Amino acid sequence: MVDILPGEVEKWHFIESKIREIARTFHFREIRTPLLEDTGLIARGVGKTTDIVSKELFAFERGDDRYVLRPEGTASVCRAYIQHNLHLKGGVQKFFYMGPMFRAERPQKGRQRQFHQFGAEIMGSADPLADAEIIAFMVALYRGLGIKNTRLRLNSVGDPESREAYKKALVEYFRPNVNLLSDISQKRLETNPMRILDSKEPEDQVLIESAPIITGYLNEESAKHLRQVQKHLDRLGIEYVDDPRLVRGLDYYTRTAFELTSPDLGSQDALGGGGRYDLLIEELGGPATPSVGFAAGLERLLIACDAMNIPLGTQPELDVYIVTRGDDAKKWAFRHLKPLRDAGLSASMDLANRSMKAQMKEADRELAKWTLIVGDDELQSEQFTLRNMAESYEEKLHFADILKKLVGL
């Protein structure tokens, strides 16, 4: 896990405000859920056989209750949707969220045990327009930041009927050659054959290349749904590639699945991904609510921005630093920070009784635009020295005029 220090945190502010701004234009509304969730919710929501649940949860018990640090956001949003009867508010609900997630994995570039995701959900629509809307939102964020080097992959993992037919076909295809598969894929043939398609083991690649693809096994409704999503994306000018071998690691997806990747991320090349989950809310005990969503990694977004040399936030400037000489000046300065701050200026001063030279140096380091220099002379004449740090000129003014001048700028 990592600390985000001053200098780095400004980048986060920049990205977070960009996300909020684009969410506003799409009219997604923010939802915040607890970092802790009931273990059962996550297990049922994400799927017991997924890697995330079976080996990556941070879990603990307290009394009879079992908790996990949330590994993703969708299950929590669904829980909140059910718990607060949000379907009764009517219409289609559009949410976005942003915050830390936790998975107990071996860390590497673009992968931490505590990481940050933003994501969005559209709940209560089975229409392909909702799929296109959620993808458009995700793509708009990356476009808005200027990240160009991305690829959107699109597929349908089918509804339960289609998927059963496809799984059967896959098992029939792989079974005769089971010995040629990697150990892990041999296991997956029993538990979750579609995951074999996601394997990167070299020995699996040959077989995967000529394996049957899901496209031919989609029933008419699922196939039509995918075609309509594609048409909507075409109309929006959003480029994508059809990838009939795209499968996702969470069990709740139905029909639409998509992933946005970037070659700038190295081995962990997924910026974000998502899909439709028409059955999840019902499975969790809520009303039948077809929904679609995505999640994206903020750390990976930052890596992609750096790779493209996209300027993010920088160290904040300081409006005024008051430099003092002597105890009376120090007292005067400490009192006069308030009117400066009340006027909306950022103002600071030496808090460690150091030399003028040290104070000037600190003002420089803190990117002060102005220094206000106060010593015996100034206190006598009530005319204070205002120094412009960038242009190195000074003038003597009454405090009221200094305030006026700085606020007026």
**Which residues make up the interface to RNA (CB under 7 A)?**
1, 50-52, 72, 103, 105-113, 115, 117, 184, 188, 195, 198-201, 248-250, 259, 266-273, 295-297, 299-300, 325, 354-358, 360-365, 371, 373-378, 385, 387, 389-390, 392, 394
In whole angstroms, how close is the CB of 261 to RNA at the nearest point?
A: 8
3-state helix, strand, coil in the chain (%, to 5): 45, 25, 30
How far apart CA 385 and CA 97 sit, in angstroms, is 49
Q: DSSP character for 215?
A: G
Phi-psi category of residue 47: left, alpha or beta, with phi > 0 → left and psi -120 to 50 → alpha? left
List the one residue out of 131, 12, 134, 111 whose CA is nearest residue 56. Answer: 111
Under a CB-based contact definition with an 8 Å cutoff, are residues 113 and 107 in contact?
Answer: yes
Is the separation of the CB atoms in 33 and 77 below 8 Å? yes
In the complex, the smallest distance separating the C-beta of residue 63 from RNA, rounded to whole angstroms, is 27
Tell me 92's DSSP state: -
Provide the minimum distance between the beta carbon of 233 and RNA in the complex, in angstroms, as a whole number.
Answer: 19
Using DSSP bridges, classify how beta strands 254-261 and 241-242 pair: parallel, antiparallel or unpaired.
unpaired
Q: At its nearest, how many Å lie between RNA and the CB of residue 371?
A: 7
Query: Which H or E element spans position 115?
Result: strand 114-123
- Name the DSSP letter for residue 393: E
- As given in the structure block, the two tokens for residue 191 are 């538990």
Residue 291 vs residues 126, 128, 261: alpha-carbon distances, Å: 7, 10, 23
Shortest Cβ 86–RNA spacing (Å): 23
Q: Which residue is listed with tokens 């242009």?
A: 391
* Of residues 65 and 317, the one with the C-beta less far from RNA: 317
Distance separating alpha carbons of residues 273 and 154, to the nearest angstrom: 10
Q: CB 345 → RNA: shortest distance, Å? A: 18
**Which CB sits closer to RNA, 159 or 378?**
378
d(CA 3, CA 359): 29
The pair of structure tokens assigned to 305 is 């921005």
What backbone phi and psi angles, to 5 degrees, belong to 386? -105, 115
Measured from the CB atom, the residue of 199 and 348 that comes closer to RNA is 199
> Which of residues 187 and 227 has its CB atom nearest to RNA in the complex?
187
Neighbours of 30 (CB within 10 A): 14
